[in-house]
Amino acid sequence: METEKMSPLSDLLNLNLDTKQIIAEYIWIGGSGMDIRSKGRTLPGPVSDPSKLPKWNYDGSSTNQAAGDDSEVILYPQAIFKDPFRKGNNILVMCDAYTPKGDPIPTNNRHKAVKIFDHPNVKAEEPWFGIEQEYTLLKKDVKWPLGWPLGGFPGPQGPYYCAVGADKAFGRDIVDGHYKACLYAGLSIGGANGEVMPGQWEFQISPTVGIGAGDQLWVARYILERITEICGVIVSFDPKPIEGDWNGAAAHTNFSTKSMRKEGGLDLIKKAIGKLEVKHKQHIAAYGEGNERRLTGKHETADINKFSWGVADRGASVRVGRDTEKEGKGYFEDRRPSSNMDPYLVTSMIAETTILG
């Protein structure tokens, strides 16, 4: 009976529309800084340039971004991606938010980031960011990790990282579906793998220049939220979803500049790390809510109150890879950002501190 009910709905969802019209799904970030919102609108034909898209508005009082007596917030389209759900010429549109007068609303971190990335000194260095987004899949009704015994715990960590098998990998169809959907959308997704804690996974946004890294991570998060919605599973970006002897979830951010990628770049990497150490507290304050529960000095983390760096050291605040050390150039990994960080804030802050600092 359930199959009979669902079949006509699937038919409707998969309709090939014999029209030039397309559906544009406008995506934005709500007032909490982690709640992703979206709504769709019909456009007369295909669009590939965000500047050609119309601005739109929404009720900011329902997203904790405006008062009820002056609730209109304006969406400015900023980046376009193919829609893996509706397919065809339909699109996903990453937006940021402004007042009717054209001022960025207080939670618009993208606008602040663009100012930094547009600085001539920053543009000249072509900053690359690669972000490793970890997340945890939870059962919807009990909010307990996928694959865990109800009200109980699985065996200790060890067998689950990059593992295969029904007793070790939980939620792979969601991960693979997300991977392919991101590739279809045109995102620079570089890979995906099971993480140390069972029910926890990771995907990576490959090195992307400037503001594009933030746009791509937010859209990848949106696609993941949509897929888990379809599957009746919750995706959690909490940095420490389960207390105790379990790994937390991070968004390790890999960074390099044009100068770091050239001969002698290792010396510049060390100087940049020195600048990060000076501003450790400011960065920690912007690197995600609840991060103190993750950055304990255990489970492949550094203590939140102490800055450290090392080669191949996953217990450090900042890690330099063996290849970078060997070649004398390359990139470094900031391991402090939590899984719920805002990539606009984190990427622009790293650029500001290391290039403009």
212 & 84 share domain: no
Q: How far apart are CA 344 and CA 117, in angstroms?
A: 10
- Which of 83, 107, 131 is the endpoint of a domain? 107
103 & 125 share domain: no
> CB 162: neighbour CB atoms within 10 A?
11
Q: How far apart are the first and last CA of the chain?
A: 64
The bridge status of strand 251-256 relative to strand 233-236 is unpaired
Q: Which amino acid belongs to residue 321?
A: G
143 & 233 share domain: yes
The predicted pLDDT at position 216 comes to: 98
Overall domain count for the chain: 2
Report which DSSP code applies to 18.
Answer: -
What kind and span of H or E run contains 23? strand 22-29
27 & 99 share domain: yes
For residue 59, give every residue at least 6 positions away whose Cβ sits within 8 Å of its Cβ, in sequence order, or none: 66, 71, 72, 73
- Which of 107, 128, 152 is the endpoint of a domain? 107
For residue 298, give every residue at least 6 positions away whose Cβ sits within 8 Å of its Cβ, in sequence order, or none: none
Q: Which domain holds residue 145?
A: 120-356
Report which DSSP code applies to 335.
Answer: -
Q: How many residues does the chain have?
A: 357
152 & 252 share domain: yes
pTM, two decimals, is 0.96
Q: Kindly list the distances between the CA atom of residue 265 and the CA atoms of 64, 322, 333, in Å, as whole numbers in the listed order.
A: 44, 14, 15
340 & 221 share domain: yes
Report residue 110 as tokens: 């993208």
Q: How many CA atoms lie within 13 A of 212 on its CB side?
A: 18
What kind and span of H or E run contains 191? strand 189-194
187 & 133 share domain: yes
**Cα pseudo-dihedral 320, 321, 323, 328, rounded to 10:** 0
The predicted pLDDT at position 6 comes to: 60
pLDDT tens, residue order, the chain (357 aa): 444 556 789 899 888 888 999 999 999 999 999 999 999 999 999 999 999 999 999 999 999 999 988 899 999 999 999 999 999 999 999 999 999 999 999 999 999 999 999 999 999 999 999 999 999 999 999 999 999 999 899 999 999 999 999 999 999 999 999 999 999 999 999 999 999 999 999 999 999 999 999 999 999 999 999 999 999 999 999 999 999 999 999 999 999 999 999 999 999 999 999 999 999 999 999 999 999 999 999 999 999 999 999 999 999 999 999 999 999 999 999 999 999 999 999 999 999 999 998
Q: Kindly list the distances between the CA atom of residue 231 and the CA atoms of 41, 140, 219, 284, in Å, as whole numbers in the listed order.
A: 25, 10, 19, 34
